[in-house]
Amino acid sequence: MTDVTEAIARAHRQEWARVVATLARRYRDLDIAEEMTAEAFAAAVERWPADGVPANPGAWLTVTADRKAIDRIRREAKRAQKHQEALMLSDAPEPLGVIDDDRLRLVFTCCHPALAMEARIALTLRMVGGLTVPEIAAAFLVQETAMSRRITRAKTKIQAARIPYRVPSREDLPARVTGVLTVLYLIFNEGYLASDPEQNAVRGDLTAEAIRLTRLVRDLMPAHGEVAGLLALMLLTEARRTARVSAGGELVALGDQDRGAWDRALIAEGHALVRARLASGQPPGRYQIQAAINAVHTDVRDVRDTDWSQVIALYDQLAVLDRSPIVRLNRAIAVAELDGPEVALAEVDGLPLEGYHLFHATRAELLRRLGRSDQARTAYGRAIELAGNTAEKAYLIRRRDQLGAP
């Protein structure tokens, strides 16, 4: 990569959201903001190799995008009045929100609860993340035209229904931050659970993109515990990603992973975030607790050293906030390590998770440890039927076949 290409890639990572956000505030129009920002980057690709990289790439891009926006507005007579309005709006001192940053307004607008969840995800990746529509379509295995329509429809609704371009009011803020974190976590999981990251690198890249976006939100809301918790959770999960799938494309269970392959830098950063949250003394939310559970797992070089009683205590804490049976299922897996498979099986049986592959996979593993091979085989069979991910399927099939024929 030449220096200029690298400078453009860096500017794209660092400045895209800022330029879109600035234009969106100035012109109150996400279409103009998005298109003119894209054009400014296209201009950079054209001109920086000849003219050199400007001293302040962000300012250059903003000014270029802004000029293009004004040109376009002048060209479109219909927009003239809008431009006038926009200028008047930006002259008036705006009431400052709880946090004042254009990028944060952009994040909250893209993750607005009046938009469908899939639209929020697509819009966030496009407007804040700077991914192209074809990239987003490929990552979500959706036709490009369908993805493009989804984004256009969301933008139309924002405009027509007057979804505001600002940080929510204090009373709305907690729920809205939770909504933003949900979007970021869904993006992360989409990448993390991608069954074939080798073949579909775009999907795999979603984890890195989700982490980047969460870092941005954390920069904008540094005091928010759950933002830090989600970032820590993502880092500690991402750290294990390469160890999680074998060379043969099969899932590797936590206890069997090559811990030397874990990313120590990500783990150190995740642990530091978890420690800082613990030190804050504030009651943790669900992401912070999940991050703490992952911190316990990543704290030891040997699975046998895992502090299972600590894991169970954290799941108990999580169960108070989240009554989902999935939390109880995960808790039971830790119970198996501390109190044995029999106790754990008693906790798992009866959970209303008939349609969830990990319920059957967990039962299969517990039954296997109890020597009840026939029942284990049936449970593996159910899990294999329900599993959507090829790496998980491969793992479950091998586990089942190890039991031999009935």
Residue 41: count other Cβ atoms within 10 Å of its Cβ. 20
Q: Is residue 163 involved in binding other proteins (CB under 8 A)?
A: yes
Residue 251 φ then ψ, to 5°: -65, 140
Per-residue exposure over 324-351, b if at least 16 CB sit within 10 Å of its own CB, e if not: eeebbbbbbbbbbbebebeebbebbeeb
Which residues within the stretch 287-326 sit at the binding site for other proteins (CB under 8 A)?
none
Contact 265, 252 (CB under 8 A): no
Q: Is residue 229 involved in binding other proteins (CB under 8 A)?
A: no
Which residues within the stretch 165-184 sit at the binding site for other proteins (CB under 8 A)?
168-169, 172
Q: Is residue 161 involved in binding other proteins (CB under 8 A)?
A: yes
Nearest CA-CA partner of 185 in 135, 235, 110: 235
The two most distant CA atoms of the chain are separated, in Å, by 78
Q: Is residue 87 involved in binding other proteins (CB under 8 A)?
A: no
With helix as H, strand as E and coil as C, how does 153-182 read?
HHHHHHHHCCCCCCCCCCCCHHHHHHHHHH
Site string for other proteins, 19-58 (x = CB under 8 A): ----------------------------------------
Minimum CB–partner distance for residue 241 and other proteins (Å)? 37
Residue from 75, 162, 170, 323 that binds other proteins (CB under 8 A)?
162
Taking the least distance from each CB to other proteins, the nearer of 169 and 324 is 169
Taking the least distance from each CB to other proteins, the nearer of 54 and 113 is 113
Minimum CB–partner distance for residue 164 and other proteins (Å)? 4
DSSP labels, 321-352:
H---HHHHHHHHHHHHHHH-HHHHHHHHTT-S
Minimum CB–partner distance for residue 120 and other proteins (Å)? 14
Q: Is residue 160 involved in binding other proteins (CB under 8 A)?
A: yes
Taking the least distance from each CB to other proteins, the nearer of 25 and 112 is 112
Q: Is residue 377 involved in binding other proteins (CB under 8 A)?
A: no
Rounded Cα gap, residues 348 and 369, in angstroms: 14
Minimum CB–partner distance for residue 90 and other proteins (Å)? 17
Minimum CB–partner distance for residue 108 and other proteins (Å)? 10
Minimum CB–partner distance for residue 48 and other proteins (Å)? 39
Taking the least distance from each CB to other proteins, the nearer of 82 and 215 is 82
Rounded Cα gap, residues 364 and 378, in angstroms: 8
Taking the least distance from each CB to other proteins, the nearer of 102 and 365 is 102
Contact 360, 383 (CB under 8 A): yes
Taking the least distance from each CB to other proteins, the nearer of 169 and 199 is 169
Minimum CB–partner distance for residue 13 and other proteins (Å)? 31
Name the CA radius of gyration of the chain, rounded. 24
Contact 398, 250 (CB under 8 A): yes
- Judged by CB under 8 A, how many residues of this single chain contact other proteins? 13
Q: Is residue 117 involved in binding other proteins (CB under 8 A)?
A: no
- Which pair of structure tokens corresponds to residue 67? 């000029």
Q: Is residue 156 involved in binding other proteins (CB under 8 A)?
A: no
Q: Is residue 105 involved in binding other proteins (CB under 8 A)?
A: no
Taking the least distance from each CB to other proteins, the nearer of 164 and 174 is 164
Taking the least distance from each CB to other proteins, the nearer of 47 and 82 is 82
Taking the least distance from each CB to other proteins, the nearer of 47 and 157 is 157
Minimum CB–partner distance for residue 171 and other proteins (Å)? 8
Q: In this structure, which amino acid lies at residue 353? A: L
Taking the least distance from each CB to other proteins, the nearer of 82 and 212 is 82
- State the virtual CA torsion across 179, 136, 187, 199 in degrees, nearest 10: 170
3-state secondary structure of 58: helix
Q: Is residue 164 involved in binding other proteins (CB under 8 A)?
A: yes
Residue from 42, 89, 98, 114 that binds other proteins (CB under 8 A)?
114
Residue 371 φ then ψ, to 5°: 75, 15
Contact 184, 216 (CB under 8 A): no
Helix, strand, coil share of the chain (percent; to 5): 75, 0, 25
Contact 33, 111 (CB under 8 A): no
Please give the residue ranges that form the binding site for other proteins (CB under 8 A).
Answer: 81-82, 112-114, 160-164, 168-169, 172
